[in-house]
Amino acid sequence: MVKESKIKAVAAFSGGLDSILAVKIVMDQGVDVIALNFKSFFCRDDKSNKGSAGSSINRAAGHLGVEFKSIDLGNDYLEMVRNPKYGYGKNVNPCIDCRIFEFKAVKKIMNEIGAAFVITGEVLGQRPMSQHRRALYLIEKAAGLEGFILRPLSAKLFSPTIPEKKGWVNRDNLLDISGRTRKPQIDLAKQYGIIDYPAPAGGCLLTDKYFSTRLRDLFKFGKINSKNIELLKVGRHFRISDQFKLIVGRDEQENQRILNLSEKGDLFFEPLELSGPSALGKGNYDENIKELSAKIIARYTSLNKQVKVLFKILPESKELVLNVFALEDTKSKKMLI
């Protein structure tokens, strides 16, 4: 007797409770699930967003017993964030374009591995920009996945999808959860005995107000590359002129990180004979800008007197020393991004 092969599905898997439950509901119907997690420049740099061994996403996939793949969204994602067709949410979060971008990547993998449909933990009405009915339809149509995206937590609130019509999953075992409340999901997790899941926190920096301000500034004045995006996550940023930005470390670790992310031609500053922050200057400058930068650095040293600030052009120009007094707080705050 020939054994019938199992239907395969891919899941857009964040490792959060909703995606865990969505996978569980479909797995329990005998479908083989492969969990896909997206990585972009804007994922928060914490364990829950890394595909590394021991991260909570990996652990969640391991507990479910599903195969896990991490997908790097690459440089084209940056271009999408800069010019989203459907605009931004409250911050620089282009959620509709982002989901279309991600689902296009999912479709590619789906075809490569012969998966029949896509599972997501999306809940109708949970997120204002990308999870209302019109947006969800728009996203799946634009990604070329019309009818192929199954949202087990809210499926009964939508017309039956292809996996339901084909009998790959039983609609009776799907749910009708909607809105922002988490209670039904938490109750369901208890029923399944699922206890190890991360709290729902924004894993995406594009929804962060402060990060968005820095990113907008970079889009307006800076050079967009991976190092400059990484730098937005570190230190204090000062827009000194349209053409010059100063990034000041807040501790030893950040001082080192800033240096690691420097590029040829950047300016490097650090206080001499005193402990204090290192700083990186990026862009075109003149003597005034150089002095102003040194004064900002002096502001973060421990002394309230003239400070010597070492200055050089990276990687290896001659080192110079500037003698400056700290800039008043009110003036430096005006330049803070």
| Minimum CB distance to ligand SF4, residue 43 (Å) | 8
Of 99 and 295, CB closest to ligand SF4: 99
Residue 111: how many other CB atoms lie within 10 Å? 9
Contact call for residue 98 and ligand SF4 (CB under 6 A) = yes
Residues 6+ apart with CB under 8 A from 20: 60, 64, 121, 189, 194, 197
Min CB(256)–ligand SF4 separation in Å: 28
For ligand SF4, which is the closer residue by CB, 129 or 322? 129
Residue from 19, 37, 93, 120 touching ligand SF4 (CB under 6 A): that is 93
- Taking CB under 6 A as the criterion, the residue among 207, 255, 278, 332 binding ligand SF4 is 207
100 contributes a contact to ligand SF4 by CB under 6 A: no
User: Which of 62, 87 has the CB closer to ligand SF4?
Assistant: 87
- The residue (of 188 and 206) whose beta carbon lies closer to ligand SF4 is 206
Secondary structure of the chain in HEC code, one letter for each residue: CCCCCCCEEEEECCCCHHHHHHHHHHHCCCCEEEEEEEECCCECCCHHHCCCCCCHHHHHHHHHCCEEEEEECHHHHHHHHHCCCCCCCCCCCCHHHHHHHHHHHHHHHHHHHCCCEEEECCCECCCCCCCCHHHHHHHHHHCCCCCCEECCCCHHHCCCCHHHHCCCCCHHHCCCCECCCCHHHHHHHHHHCCCCCCCCCCCEHHHCHHHHHHHHHHHHHCCCCHHHHHHCCCCEEEEEECCEEEEECCCHHHHHHHHHCCCCCCEEEEECCCCCCCEEEEECCCHHHHHHHHHHHHHCCCCCCCEEEEEEECCCCCCEEEEECCCCHHHHHHHEC
CB 143 to ligand SF4: min, Å: 13
> Considering the rule CB under 6 A, would residue 229 count as an interface residue with ligand SF4?
no
Is 106 an interacting residue with respect to ligand SF4 (CB under 6 A)? no
Q: Is 50 in the site for ligand SF4 (CB under 6 A)?
A: no
Binding range to ligand SF4, per CB under 6 A, among 87-95, 170-178, 191-199, 272-280: 87-95
Q: Looking at beta carbons only, is 185 or 207 nearer to ligand SF4?
A: 207
Q: What's at 112, amino acid-wise? A: E
Q: Assess contact for 207 and 90: CB atoms under 8 A.
A: yes
User: Could you say whether residue 99 binds ligand SF4 (CB under 6 A)?
Assistant: yes
Min. distance of Cβ 135 from ligand SF4 in angstroms? 10
Whether residue 35 contacts residue 61, with contact meaning beta carbons closer than 8 Å, is answered with: yes
Interface segment toward ligand SF4; rule CB under 6 A; list 51-59, 93-101, 192-200, 224-232:
93-101
Rounded-to-integer distance, Cα 43 and Cα 31, Å = 29
Q: Which stretch binds ligand SF4 (CB under 6 A): 65-73, 94-102, 149-157, 259-267?
A: 94-102
* Of 7, 20, 95, 247, the one binding ligand SF4 by CB under 6 A: 95
CB of residue 159 to ligand SF4, shortest distance in Å: 23
**Does 326 sit near ligand SF4 (CB under 6 A)?**
no
Considering only residues 111-140, where is the footprint of ligand SF4 by CB under 6 A? 130
Smallest gap from residue 93 Cβ to ligand SF4 (A): 4
Number of residues that bind ligand SF4 (CB under 6 A): 9
Interacting residue ranges for ligand SF4, rule: CB under 6 A = 93-95, 98-99, 130, 204, 206-207
